Structure 1
Amino acid sequence: MKIEETIRKDGLRIVSASIPTQKKVYVSVTCMTGFIYDPADKQGLSHFFEHMAFKGTKKRSAAEVRAFIGKNFLSSNASTSRMFIDYYGSGVAHKLPLMVDLLCDIYLNPTYPAAELQKEKNAVLLERARNYDDDGYLAHRAARENLWRSNPMRSEGVGTEDGMKNITRADLLALKKLWHVPSNTLIFGAGKLTHSELVAHVNKYFPVGSGEVTHEKWDEELELPPVKKRIEIKKPKRNKAMVVVAAKTPWDITEKEDATTSILWRLLMSGTNSRLFREIREKRGLAYAVGGSGSVTYGLGAYIYAYAETDAKNIGKVERLMKRALNAPLKNKKDFADAKERELDSISLEDDNSLGVWESLSWEYLVKGKPIKDIAGYYKKMEKLLKRVTLHDVEVLRKKDFKLERFVTVVVKPE
């Protein structure tokens, strides 16, 4: 695999990951600002802005956009996160120019038809309703709101009902003019392609432009304690309860810490051989779904979490077991060796990873100020680092990250 980058004179970044063994290509056009910039009275603007990009352009109606995607893409979608709005898709390699054409068109030339606004607002509000029916979504939202105070890690991007009502077509046009400029855009391609052909197609469909976007910086608030240590959310018509415990961690960690973290999570929270699964489900049968992981927004914040779905009468018992499992020292050498082998197996499958993984790595390296070309050696470097990780390293990191006083507990239970 070969990673190459071109930065045009107008600031547009074009990054390619050439993987000749692939038969398909993945392409994305990314705006490097996300929903954390939504105005207070128009929460959900960025997310709605992303939705409306597919409702027609200066040269394609909404129906033509859908038909073009249906014919030329194997998959296509868009997403809005705190720091990015991403339009992406995959397809067979020879359709690369068609994919670049469509993605650049909806990015640069959307018309936001007035007749489509209310219909799509209704769809977004239904998406919001779906989220609020999800116990896990509610638990994570409450956890973030209590882990952070001012940092926008505490915010959600789907929007509010009042915010959606306030959004106008003029807002969408103004946002596109402000954000969709070359210097605030990253175009990424991976798979069976060359850098030169990707650049040629991008230059054809993404004209040279101008404009600058100012990106804000936020305190991670790592030393601030949670606003509340425990939150209960009561929901009607529930046959189970969910317990989530979460704590802030640094987003900018060393590669050695990254490798160590993957083993730590597997030992404590991830998979059926984790301590959490064995203690809560296998030994006691107190839950069906048990697990944990971490969530990071590079440049903003990160947190770790563990969860268990249980009967409401067992909430207290499961809470105590979760905290005990996370707080107890790691000493079992066989468990450590097994978890390490599992992570090494996973990292060895570099060529089998989704092509979108390389895009995510490009965002990470960009935010951290690391050379994009170094992504090519990421998996080999991680493999070497994993081999050097010791049980002592994992225990040191556990003590650092899993301090009970830093955790928030959220319980979603029946009324």
Structure 2
Amino acid sequence: MYRKTILNNGIRIVTEHIPYVQSISIGIWVKTGSRDEKREENGIAHFIEHMLFKGTKKRSALAIAKEIDSVGGVLNASTSREFTNFYAKVLAKDFKLAVDLLSDIFLNSLFSFSEIKREREVIFQEIKMVEDTPDEYVQDLFSQYFFSDHPLGQPILGNYNTIGKINRDKLIKFFHSYYLNPYRIIVSVAGNLNHYQVVEAINQTLGKIKPNNKKEPAWKPPEIFSGVKIFNKDLEQVHICIGTKGFSQTHPSRYAGYILNTILGGSISSRLFQEIREKRGLAYNIFSYNSPFQDTGILAIYVGTSRNKFNQVIELIIKEIQKLKTKPLKESELKKAKDQLKGNLLLSWENTDVRMSRMATGELYFGKYIPLKKIRDKIDQVTAKDVQTLSQELFQKKYLLLIALGGVKEKNIKPSLLEI
């Protein structure tokens, strides 16, 4: 059973009672991420995420780790471009401990000078790790060039220059301005719980945050950039990310978009995986993915291949895109994609983490809970024409960007490569 309560200070609490599980997943979700950062402070939201685990007025970093470990629980956080979340998963009997830990790190973190200095080095190592992982790094490069100077294009981790200049004053100022804002905060809890006990526990902790006049962010939509950009690096493979303007979190055709992605490259039975890996052996890893945001999105394809197969692989990808634009799906393929999506959804629904996250994102982007049945019904309502129309809308040359990382040069690329 789903319930929602809004505290006097504006914090929204959403819960789902699942009586047959032993656990509870709880998350503090804040509508703040790298999209809120100025260029000179890029990476500060992610830096703050790290610092909230480095000690409070009553717990050291080690004490925080030991306390959650002592009950076999999980305590973690993540930063994205549009939101940050701090979450815990524990047995139902340990719910109060989880609330105490989460509220303590959220309200009472010290941001000590020594921990900031140490954690800055950790983040430098994290940036290096991404740069040494080309299949991940090329996707970051794609976002940076696709959205160009817009905050959505900034790397979530920041860069060496900005992270090196972030100090304690900047961290605390950003945290107080963007995180301690009740209108941006959602507490989402799923599991074997009592809604009223959850509300009481949150009200006694986060309910003490003073309301302010700053409501939800007024983000400006980005301008999209297209073309080809090559990053020459001595690698065994060329890592490619080719993508276009995707659909937003609230786009009316988003369910057609989910099916489009599933058919194009969302699984091992998808068209791209079968054509490029299984049939021709041109790649080990190839997939497509959606990155929807509040007012825009990305629909992209990643593939890693050898240098001498670069043009052939791109041509095959464009050929599959053209098919989606010009030929309606067969009913059998459409049904398979729908069944796959609904099956994935139902399997994920057995996880309290997933249900907690879905409630939170529903509240973040729609201001309401979206029931499982409604999602399944919306998937079933998608037609072959819907998928074809969306393909024609999204896959246009004016939106298409290709990023390549590896030992390939622009002179080796066919001029007509991105003609669609």
TM-score, reference length from structure 2: 0.89
What does residue range 83-102 of structure 1 map to in structure 2 within 5 Å?
A: 83-102=82-101
The one-letter code sitting in structure 2 at the alignment partner of 1:243 is I
* Structure 2 CA distance for aligned equivalents of residues 80 and 225 of structure 1: 23
* Structure 2 CA distance for aligned equivalents of residues 365 and 50 of structure 1: 21
1:140 alignment partner in structure 2: 139
Gaps of 5+ in 1: none
Q: Does 1:17 align with 2:12?
A: no
Per the alignment, in what secondary structure is the counterpart of residue 141 of structure 2? Answer: helix
Q: Which moved more, 1:148-157 or 1:13-22?
A: 148-157
Q: Does 1:355 align with 2:353?
A: yes
1:200 alignment partner in structure 2: 200
1:311 alignment partner in structure 2: 306
The one-letter code sitting in structure 1 at the alignment partner of 2:377 is K
1:112 alignment partner in structure 2: 111
2:66 alignment partner in structure 1: 67
Per the alignment, in what secondary structure is the counterpart of residue 86 of structure 2? Answer: strand
* Structure 2 CA distance for aligned equivalents of residues 195 and 93 of structure 1: 13
1:217 alignment partner in structure 2: 218
2:269 alignment partner in structure 1: 273
Displacement of 1:315 in angstroms is 0.4
Q: Which moved more, 1:383-392 or 1:62-71?
A: 383-392
1:393 alignment partner in structure 2: 386
Per the alignment, in what secondary structure is the counterpart of residue 89 of structure 1? Answer: strand
Displacement of 1:214 in angstroms is 4.9
1:324 alignment partner in structure 2: 319
Contact 1:78 1:88 in 2 (8 A): yes
* Count of aligned pairs: 403
Displacement of 1:53 in angstroms is 0.9
Question: Cα 1:84–1:94, aligned 2, differ >3 Å: closer, same or farther?
Answer: same
Gaps of 5+ in 2: 409-420
Question: Cα 1:87–1:133, aligned 2, differ >3 Å: closer, same or farther?
Answer: same
Displacement of 1:349 in angstroms is 3.7
* Structure 2 CA distance for aligned equivalents of residues 15 and 106 of structure 1: 21
Contact 1:244 1:411 in 2 (8 A): yes
Question: Cα 1:127–1:274, aligned 2, differ >3 Å: closer, same or farther?
Answer: same
Question: Cα 1:150–1:235, aligned 2, differ >3 Å: closer, same or farther?
Answer: closer
Per the alignment, in what secondary structure is the counterpart of residue 406 of structure 2? Answer: strand
Q: Does 1:81 align with 2:101?
A: no
Question: Cα 1:122–1:15, aligned 2, differ >3 Å: closer, same or farther?
Answer: same
* Structure 2 CA distance for aligned equivalents of residues 225 and 87 of structure 1: 31
Displacement of 1:141 in angstroms is 2.3
Question: Cα 1:96–1:13, aligned 2, differ >3 Å: closer, same or farther?
Answer: same
* Structure 1 CA distance for aligned equivalents of residues 216 and 300 of structure 2: 28
* Structure 2 CA distance for aligned equivalents of residues 402 and 395 of structure 1: 10
Displacement of 1:128 in angstroms is 0.7
Q: Which moved more, 1:164-173 or 1:144-153?
A: 144-153
Per the alignment, in what secondary structure is the counterpart of residue 70 of structure 2? Answer: helix
Question: Cα 1:162–1:61, aligned 2, differ >3 Å: closer, same or farther?
Answer: same
1:244 alignment partner in structure 2: 241
TM-score, reference length from structure 1: 0.90
The one-letter code sitting in structure 1 at the alignment partner of 2:336 is D
Per the alignment, in what secondary structure is the counterpart of residue 208 of structure 2? Answer: coil
What does residue range 396-407 of structure 1 map to in structure 2 within 5 Å?
A: 396-407=389-400
2:176 alignment partner in structure 1: 177
Per the alignment, in what secondary structure is the counterpart of residue 72 of structure 1? Answer: coil
The one-letter code sitting in structure 1 at the alignment partner of 2:306 is D
Contact 1:251 1:300 in 2 (8 A): yes
Contact 1:28 1:86 in 2 (8 A): yes
* Structure 2 CA distance for aligned equivalents of residues 275 and 290 of structure 1: 10
* Structure 2 CA distance for aligned equivalents of residues 215 and 150 of structure 1: 22
Displacement of 1:78 in angstroms is 0.9
* Structure 2 CA distance for aligned equivalents of residues 184 and 393 of structure 1: 34
* Structure 2 CA distance for aligned equivalents of residues 89 and 209 of structure 1: 21
Q: Which moved more, 1:306-315 or 1:335-344?
A: 335-344
